[in-house]
Each structure stands twice: as C-alpha cells, then as structure tokens.
Structure 1
Amino acid sequence: MVKSFQGVREAPIKKSNQPLLVSDHMSTNLVTFHPEDSIDHVIIVMTRKRISGAPVVDGDGNLVGMISEGDCLKEIVKGQYTNTPKFPGTVQDHMTREVITMSPDISIFDAADQFLTMRIRRFPVVKDGVLVGQISVSDIIRAMPKLKASTW
C-alpha cells in the first residue's frame, strides 16, 4: 500500500467580490450649494428635497464647507430682529468650514466606526479634494443585510 503525502498546504485566499467600500454605498446624486447662494435659496431647496444639510462646493467641485438646518436657523433668528421675511445672508457667512471628510476607499466597517466615534450622521466623501459623494449612517445600515457572513 502506497500513501501519498503532499504536506501542509494553505487554502487559497478567496478575494471577496462583495461591495465593502464606502464608494460602493455612498450617495452620488447630491444636492450641493455654492458659497454665494443665499440662505433663502438654501431653505427652499432643503425643504423641497427633504434634506437637513448639504455640501458646499466651489466652481471646480472642491468641497469648501457644509451647510445645515442649524446654520440656517442663525439667519432666521437674525431676520426676526430685523423684521425681514427673507433671509439674504449667504452660505459662506454661515457654513461650517472645518469639514471632516471620508475617503471612498475605506471599508464600510471603518466608516461605521467613525460614525460611532465622531457622532456625526453624514460625511462628505472626497477624493483629491473633490467631492465625489456622501455616506450616511443609513447607507451603512442598508448595506449590512446584503453582506454574506463568510466575508466578515
């Protein structure tokens, strides 16, 4: 009787073809504003689109800030004191300039960790300074049921 022994072999590493990156789950059809836009315009658009904030980009698509409902409230309060129903202040006057961004090339698990650590509900996704999308907590949650347990 002849026995053959080939020795210990490592199983080949199977590359997952599952979408595990931020770029696979981010939103790319974004509402954006420009620094020169009026707060009045922002309020109208955010109300129509049912969003609570949006990225602010320059003419080249570079992210320069974020504008939120809270930022718009500053102009509304200012309007109350001047008794004006319109809000002529500009986005650049009220936007957040120090924006924390995310790379499209990080895993959704690392993104989930950032959401928990930073307590932010959405991150603009930037590549080489240019806004390419936005990822939210909801995007991460929607991705989880689609993943197979074998890729974790």
Structure 2
Amino acid sequence: MGIKSFQGARKQQNNINENVQLKVCDYMTRDLITFKPEQTVDEVIHALIANRISGGPVVNANNELIGIISEGDCLKQITESHYYNMPVEQDIVENRMVKNVETIDGNMDVFEAARKFLDSKIRRFPIVIDGKLMGQISQKDILKAAMQLKGHNWK
C-alpha cells in the first residue's frame, strides 16, 4: 500500500520585494482637529466628544506644535475644579496641555513606530517637519498599515 499525503496543494508564494519600507508619512492622518492654547478646556471637551477623539495637538498661530491635550488632561482639570469649587469654563488649554511632546519622523518605518508605541505607552505621535505640524500617527494607523501588508505577503 502506498503512502498517501494529506497535504493539499501549496499556495504559490508571491515574490514581493521584502525590503519595501512602509513609512509613517504614508499612513499618518493629515486632516487633524487641533486646538489653540487660548481655547477653554470646556471647548476641548466638547470637541473631543463631538469628534469621537481622545486628544489632539495644540498649535500656535504659525501651525507650530506647542503641546498635546488629551481626555486625561481634561479629566484632571474637571476633578481639580470640583475639588477646589472652581468653574471649568475659565481654565484654558495652555494651562492643561502637555508641553514636552515626543514626535515621530515621517520617514520612520511603521514597524519601528509600532515598537516606539509599545515602549512609550503613548497613543498618538505628531509628525513635525520644519517646525510645522504635518500630521499624526496613531496606534490604529499602524494596525491599518499592518493589515494592508498582511494581504500581500504575510502567511
């Protein structure tokens, strides 16, 4: 009796160049909701809820990145205003934003960016070119890039 193979036909492998670099700038969001330092935190809270986002970059009049404001920053403001019995409407973004903002180079490989996300526990990184805010990359953008690649040459 001969040996029977239960292995089906093999799928032919595509010969796609493995050295293709997926750059952050190809997957970043360019149309951003930004905030100004003089805006009230109350305005930011309304914008975060209305746009279903968890935070956004703060830019000056020249579109230069000066900070990031997040849901957490707004929550901190709400709890402090409640504790000290101060109105929420009077506090401004400049007082609540994170000023020391880490950015990512738009030419960085998305898998390097994924590692940076894991190492830093940050949810989004702005991309700045010549001092100007050009876009933002999020963890979700990295996942989208990986899923596009998966269809081409992941097993």
TM-score calculated relative to the size of structure 1: 0.81
Match in the other structure for 1:79: 81
Q: How many residues of Structure 1 are paired with residues of Structure 2 in the alignment?
A: 136
Percent of residue pairs bearing the same amino acid type: 43
Match in the other structure for 1:34: 36
Q: Following TM superposition, by how much is the alpha carbon of 1:117 offset from its aligned partner in structure 2, in angstroms?
A: 1.3
- Answering whether residue 138 of structure 2 is matched by residue 136 of structure 1, we say yes
Match in the other structure for 2:11: none
Kindly provide the CA deviation profile for residues 47-67 of structure 1, in whole angstroms up to 9, marking residues without a partner as x: 101111100000000000000
Match in the other structure for 2:23: 21
Q: Following TM superposition, by how much is the alpha carbon of 1:75 offset from its aligned partner in structure 2, in angstroms?
A: 2.1
Q: Following TM superposition, by how much is the alpha carbon of 1:105 offset from its aligned partner in structure 2, in angstroms?
A: 1.1
Q: Which residue among 119, 122, 127 is the counterpart of 2:121?
A: 119
Contact 1:79–1:87 (8 Å) recurs in 2: no
- Answering whether residue 59 of structure 2 is matched by residue 57 of structure 1, we say yes
Instruction: Give the unaligned 5+ runs of structure 1.
Output: 1-13
State the superposition RMSD in angstroms: 2.0
SS at match of 2:127: strand
SS at match of 1:36: coil
Match in the other structure for 1:92: 94
Q: Distance between the aligned counterparts of 1:30 and 1:101, measured in 2?
A: 15
